[in-house]
């Protein structure tokens, strides 16, 4: 009987070894391999039939290393192949943060994917992604001045000329339209330009 685990194993072999597989170019075609221990084709007795030694080795590893039906196999280092030392069982959220296509940003000593930054900042991913592409490589532009706060999150706090208070209070004090002012900040205007260009 074909199991989910068996399907995962078959998928690994197809991606790494079958040149006719649609995604071979992203795996076997770029040097991603399956270790000898899991690729071993020798038939061994198992129950009432035979299985390959590779499948038996993979199945034992999976069951001893946290396999569950809600998890997927993930290569820790995307430049290395499928082997016990480089594989783990993770949920789809962790796996999606480990894709080669992810945007990875190092900021203030921390390295995270754009998705992880969005989550930790409480900012919608799409908004952060737009700012990233508009920034032309200026990472400070993506993260500074607390302009990324979601409207539903806490108050937007601004420091201007040594004084810190909410944007709403600044607008009252400087006689500024709140919506227009907030829009300028969200669109990348500096605090000085926003407050001084009425």
Q: What is the per-residue pLDDT across 148-191, written as a single tens digit (0 to 9) for each?
A: 444 443 456 777 887 888 888 888 999 998 888 887 877 777 78
CA-derived radius of gyration, the chain: 25
Is residue 98 one of the residues assigned to a domain?
no
Is residue 99 one of the residues assigned to a domain?
no
Dist. CA 66–CA 144, nearest whole Å: 40
Is residue 151 one of the residues assigned to a domain?
no
Please indicate, yes or no, whether residues 12 and 58 belong to a single structural domain of this protein. Answer: yes
Dist. CA 182–CA 94, nearest whole Å: 34
Is residue 18 one of the residues assigned to a domain?
yes
Please indicate, yes or no, whether residues 119 and 63 belong to a single structural domain of this protein. Answer: no
Please indicate, yes or no, whether residues 11 and 87 belong to a single structural domain of this protein. Answer: yes
Q: Looking at the 3D structure of the chain, how many domains does it have?
A: 3
Helix 114-121 and helix 125-134, axial crossing angle in degrees, nearest 10: 120
Q: Cβ contacts of residue 192 below 8 Å, gap of 6+?
A: 160
Is residue 55 one of the residues assigned to a domain?
yes
Please indicate, yes or no, whether residues 119 and 178 belong to a single structural domain of this protein. Answer: no
The pLDDT tens digits along the chain (198 residues) read 469 999 999 999 999 999 999 889 989 999 999 999 999 998 877 766 778 899 999 999 999 999 999 998 988 888 899 999 999 998 776 666 556 556 777 777 777 777 777 777 777 777 777 777 676 566 776 776 444 444 443 456 777 887 888 888 888 999 998 888 887 877 777 788 888 876
**Structural domain containing residue 20:** 4-91
């Amino acid at each position: 009987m074909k199991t989910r685990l068996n399907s995962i194993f078959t998928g690994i072999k197809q991606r790494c070894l079958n040149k006719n597989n649609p995604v071979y170019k992203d795996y076997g075609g770029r040097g991603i391999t399956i270790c000898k221990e899991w690729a071993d084709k020798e038939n061994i007795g198992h129950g009432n039939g035979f299985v390959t030694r590779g499948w038996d080795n993979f199945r034992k590893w999976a069951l001893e290393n946290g396999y569950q039906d809600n998890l997927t196999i993930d290569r820790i280092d995307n430049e290395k192949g499928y082997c016990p030392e480089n594989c783990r069982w993770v949920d789809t959220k962790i796996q999606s943060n480990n894709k080669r296509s992810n945007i990875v940003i190092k900021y203030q000593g921390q390295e995270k994917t754009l998705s992880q930054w969005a989550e930790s900042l409480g900012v919608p991913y799409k908004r952060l992604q737009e700012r990233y592409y508009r920034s032309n490589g200026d990472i400070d532009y993506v993260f500074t001045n607390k302009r990324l706060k979601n409207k539903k999150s806490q108050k937007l706090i601004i420091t201007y000329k040594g004084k810190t208070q909410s944007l709403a209070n600044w607008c009252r004090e400087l006689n500024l339209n709140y919506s227009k002012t907030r829009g300028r900040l969200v669109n990348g205007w500096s605090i000085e330009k926003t407050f001084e260009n009425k």
